[in-house]
Amino acid sequence: MTCAVFEVETGLELRLSYGNDVVRWQLFRGVDREKLEGRLVASGMPLSQAAAMSLESLMFREGLSSRDDADEISGRGVGLAAVKAELDRLGGSVWVETGPGAGTRLRFHVPSNPPVKSFRGNSAPLEIAI
C-alpha cells in the first residue's frame, strides 16, 4: 500500500494505492460540519446527537457524504470509512484540522510495526510507504 500527496490545480490530491487499485481525494475546500450534521439529521438522527459527534466521527462515518451527487469515485460515504477501518486494523489513528474554505489537514499515525494480517485474502505482509 502506498500513500502520496500531489499538488494539483485546485489544491492537493491524496492518492492511496494497493496494486492496481487507486483511491484519490482532493483536499482543498475544507469540511462543512453543518452539512454533514444536516445529512445525519435528514437520515433520522436527532440534531443533538449529530451535534455531539466529533468531526472525525462525522467525516469517517460509513455511508455519510457531504457531496450532493455520487460519481464513480466519491460521494457514497465509503472512502474515508475504508481508510479509518484500515487505520483501526493497523492500530493507527488520524487527526483532522479543517474549516470551510480553509482546507483540510489529515494527519495519519501508523505504528512502525503494525500488526501484520492478510489483506484481501493475500498472505503477503502489508507494505506501507508514506
Return the domain boundaries, the chain: 2-109
Per-residue pLDDT of the chain (130 residues), as tens digits, is: 788 887 777 667 777 777 777 776 665 567 888 888 999 999 999 999 999 999 889 888 888 887 777 766 666 667 788 888 888 888 888 888 887 667 778 888 888 776 655 444 443 434 433 3
Sequential DSSP letters for the chain: -EEEEEEETTEEEEEEEETTEEEEEEE-S---HHHHHHHHHHTT--HHHHHHS-HHHHHT-TT--S-SS--SSSSSS-HHHHHHHHHHHHT-EEEEEEETTTEEEEEEE--SSPPP--BTTB-SPPP-B-
Q: What pTM was computed for the model?
A: 0.58
